[in-house]
Chain A
Amino acid sequence: MKISLEQFDKAFENRIRLQIMSVLVANESYDFNSLKELLNVTDGNLASHLKALEKEGYIIVNKSFIGRKPNTQYSASPTGREAFKKHLQALENLIKQQRS
């Protein structure tokens, strides 16, 4: 069966990026360490995927300090939310296509 992959967002091809986006869409914001724990990934891995999503304009990064510790909060941008919704829709359509 041939499926058009055009509707799929390249940014979400990677599973971790999609997972990051799921968390950020469901929450107002999330910090780096909590994300790391939740997704069970390494610092470097998470950082590179966050960078990619930031470049795409899908997430908003807010750096601050709590005492002396850096605290970086991430939240989904409106573009990111829209893209995530479209991606989910595409997944859903794919299932429908395969059923018919």
Chain B
Amino acid sequence: MKEKDIYSELSSIRDLMERSTKFISLSGLSGIMAGIYALAGAFVGYKLVYGENSEMQLSDYSDRAVWLPLFLIAFIVLVLSLVTGVLLTIRQANKKHENYWNPVSKRLLLNLSVPLVTGGLFILILIFRGYFGMIASSCLIFYGLALVAASQFTFSDVKWLGFCEIILGLLAAMLPGYGLVFWIIGFGILHILYGSIMHFKYNQ
């Protein structure tokens, strides 16, 4: 056996171990899109609450008329981001001739969904009990936890995005009233930043 053969053997082992445990078809573009949706959502939300024509007052924070549209905006942003992410990931997987529905992507989704669903339910509970001040920070914290949990099945960069979201979430919890600012940083700017990094690092 020649040295070259051994190296090719070792590299094929390495490659398979990695490909069989990590899902690498995540698209950076979907991160950028999610960031843009979040920024657009935050803008519409801001106009709604603080806009000149708005009859809403900050004092009616617990009013249905205020939180229902905000909740709807957040929900639309979430659904749009998820749909874009899934579609772009499928496209990316097809490009790499990889099956998007494989044992690794299943594990990735499972690990992502446990903290995400828990967080979603927790936030619904917060809304129904009227703890509006903690919603933005809870979104960020649970989202960050979900990313950290899922990161072991994909690029490790996802873990750093997760840690940043968790830290932002904790900061948001300490500074009530600045939820929108943290929302913009965490879901908007960080996503665009992360998506661009991923796109240029792995897509070329």
**A, B bound:** yes
A100 interface hit (Cβ, 8 Å): no
Task: Establish whether residues B21 and A27, one from each chain, have CB atoms under 8 Å apart when the complex forms.
Answer: yes
Q: Which of A3, A31, A38 contacts B16 (CB 8 A)?
A: A38
B55 interface hit (Cβ, 8 Å): no
- Contact residues in A for B9 (Cβ distance below 8 Å): 15, 18, 91
A25 interface hit (Cβ, 8 Å): yes
Task: Establish whether residues B102 and A37, one from each chain, have CB atoms under 8 Å apart when the complex forms.
Answer: yes
A23 interface hit (Cβ, 8 Å): yes
The contact sample of 21 A-B pairs, CB cut-off 8 A, is: A15-B12, A18-B13, A19-B12, A19-B13, A22-B13, A22-B17, A25-B17, A26-B16, A26-B17, A26-B21, A30-B20, A31-B103, A34-B99, A34-B103, A37-B102, A38-B19, A38-B20, A88-B10, A88-B13, A95-B7, A98-B3
Q: Which residues of A contact B (CB under 8 A)?
A: 3, 5, 15, 18-19, 22-23, 25-27, 30-31, 34, 37-39, 88, 91, 94-95, 98
Q: Which residues of B contact A (CB under 8 A)?
A: 1, 3, 6-7, 9-10, 12-13, 16-17, 19-21, 99, 102-103
- Contact residues in A for B12 (Cβ distance below 8 Å): 15, 18-19, 22
**Nearest opposing residue in chain B for A84, CB measure:** B13
- Closest-CB distance, A50 to chain B (whole angstroms): 15
- Contact residues in A for B1 (Cβ distance below 8 Å): 3, 5, 94
A-B interface contact total, Cβ < 8 Å: 51
- Contact residues in B for A25 (Cβ distance below 8 Å): 17
- Closest-CB distance, A62 to chain B (whole angstroms): 14
Task: Establish whether residues A23 and B102, one from each chain, have CB atoms under 8 Å apart when the complex forms.
Answer: no
How far, in whole Å, are A5 and B83 apart by their CA atoms in the complex? 54
Task: Establish whether residues B6 and A19, one from each chain, have CB atoms under 8 Å apart when the complex forms.
Answer: no
6 residue pairs, one from A and one from B, having the closest CB atoms: A26-B17, A23-B20, A22-B13, A22-B16, A26-B21, A34-B103
- Contact residues in B for A37 (Cβ distance below 8 Å): 99, 102
Task: Establish whether residues A95 and B3, one from each chain, have CB atoms under 8 Å apart when the complex forms.
Answer: yes
Determine which residue in B1, B6, B17, B103 has the highest number of CB atoms from chain A within 10 A of its CB, and name it.
B103
Q: A27-B20, A88-B13, A91-B6 are in contact. List 14 more A-B contacts (CB 8 A).
A: A18-B9, A18-B13, A19-B12, A19-B16, A22-B13, A26-B20, A27-B21, A27-B103, A31-B103, A38-B16, A38-B19, A38-B102, A91-B9, A95-B7
